[in-house]
Amino acid sequence: MRFDQKKILVTGGSRGIGRAIATRFAAAGAQVAIHYGSNHEAAGAAIKTLEGTGHILCSGDVAEPETTQRIVRETVEKLGGLDVLVNNAGIFEAHPVDDVTFDDWQLAWQHTLAVNLTGPANLCWQAIDHMRHNGGGRIINVSSRGAFRGEPRCPAYGASKAGLNAMTQSLAQRVAPYGIFVGAVAPGFVETDMASKVLDGPDGDAVRQQSPLGRVAKPEEVAHAVLFLASAGAEFSTGTIIDVNGASYLRS
């Protein structure tokens, strides 16, 4: 898959899955805008490793509507357009219903939905507003296995990813006539900093054994699915949600 001269925006692109996605796009000839929240050091290290030239950094909290406007505007202005948006930025915070106060429960839901669902929705609006006047494009949302099987310790996370899937399919139906194709990938556990606390802890082996492969995904395996959905020839897969969980959870 080649993406020569394509302009790509990857949110949460400084680490883990996002960094792997940015790396794969750059290696395939694209110019990449790596978005990050606040860790400038990690973002700077990530962009230095990208193949090719013309890549940029952009920062900010995707939970803020004005920030989503600026991120897309900066990408379009500095890269000269936007062909692919990858909504990867997200948070995963424990808040079991029987172990938090009501105030903490509300804060967890507000924060998680703002970052994981409303932020991507606003970025989608901004990207679609550009793409529908400029020849179309691709949007890929990074969801989660938890959208289907549940997240008992992080219910707002599971709900936010289920909402992201529903939005993906709704937009796919609406914007296809503009030449904009929308899909999602739904990983299980992945070898990232966000998952390291669980994977390196006492439950790590049990998590790995959830898959018949006896391991969790590598970030590059999630990136591979993202690039497929973004590629020429994948247009009729619009609305698809690709599971990348090593058969650890099979849905009908």
Domain edges within the chain? 7-243
Phi, psi of 152 (to 5 degrees): -60, -30
Residues identified as active-site: 157
Alpha carbon distances (Å) from 121 to 50, 109, 151, 163: 27, 16, 22, 10
Model pLDDT, residue 17:
98
pLDDT in tens, 8-34: 999 999 999 999 999 999 999 999 999
User: What's the average pLDDT block by block, 10 residues per block, for the chain (252 residues)?
Assistant: 96 98 98 97 97 98 98 98 98 97 98 98 98 98 98 98 98 98 98 88 95 98 98 98 98 90
pTM to 2 decimals?
Answer: 0.97
Side-chain-facing half-sphere of 179: CA atoms under 13 Å = 10
Task: Count Cβ atoms below 10 Å from residue 168 Cβ, excluding itself.
Answer: 24
Any idea which architecture 7-243 has in CATH? Answer: 3-Layer(aba) Sandwich (3.40)
Cα–Cα distance measured from residue 76 to residue 85, given in angstroms and rounded to the nearest whole number: 11
Q: Which residues pair with 9 in a beta bridge?
A: 33, 85
